[in-house]
Amino acid sequence: MKTILIFVSTLDGKVTKWGNPHVKLWSSHQDQDYYKNVWNESRLIVMGSTTFNAETFNPSTHHQLIVMTRQPDTYKGLQVPNQIEFTNESPAEIFTRFNNKGYEQMLVVGGPHIATSFLKEQLIDELWLTLEPKIFGTGGNFVTDVNLDINLHLIHCEKVNEQGTLITKYTVLKNKIKL
């Protein structure tokens, strides 16, 4: 199963403007349209509870939303079978479960904790990153402060507006263990 991590970022690597989690307040409409299209084409979407709480997500028979949280029982009343699920499973457990069910692709959205957890377990195959021509100085990064050593290879880059917003796609170069 292909696992795709998708983010929008400023040129200084910020995914929030001064800590405000509402990306729609500063990202371009081209990025928002792109994200909406990717979302609509995705059957399996994984996010963290912070992302879930920051937006409004309606149940849909077209999507299986998996919300990672340390306290899934807190969200029991919001669960909808085969549409919205809350879990404290690890990224590897989620990956294995849905890979075994025959899913071909998993879209990972949301904040730095979810991104970092999937990257640390080497479960991300591609990173789709929109770069907005902005600099915020302070704000959230799309990974937490951990040591990572991940190499990427650019597979697509497109300028989508006059300001210079770039939609990029990278493949993650997996480290091969030599024996």
User: pLDDT digit string (tens) for 40-86?
Assistant: 999 999 999 988 988 878 888 999 999 999 999 999 999 999 999 99
What's the helix, strand, coil split of the chain in %, to 5? 25, 30, 45
User: What rounded mean pLDDT belongs to the chain?
Assistant: 93
Q: Domain range holding 108?
A: 2-173
Q: What is the pLDDT of residue 176?
A: 57
In a domain, 178, yes or no: no
Q: How many domains does the chain have?
A: 1
35 burial (CB, 10 Å; 0-12 / 13-18 / 19+) is: buried
Q: What is the pLDDT of residue 115?
A: 95
Percent share of the chain, pLDDT over 90: 83
In a domain, 179, yes or no: no
Q: Which CATH number belongs to the domain containing residue 142 in this structure?
A: 3.40.430.10
Distance CA 72, CA 21 (A): 21
Q: What is the pLDDT of residue 93?
A: 98
User: What are 114-123's pLDDT values in tens digits?
Assistant: 999 999 999 9
User: What are 126-155's pLDDT values in tens digits?
Assistant: 999 999 999 999 999 989 889 999 999 999
Contact at 8 Å (CB) between 92 and 60?
Answer: no
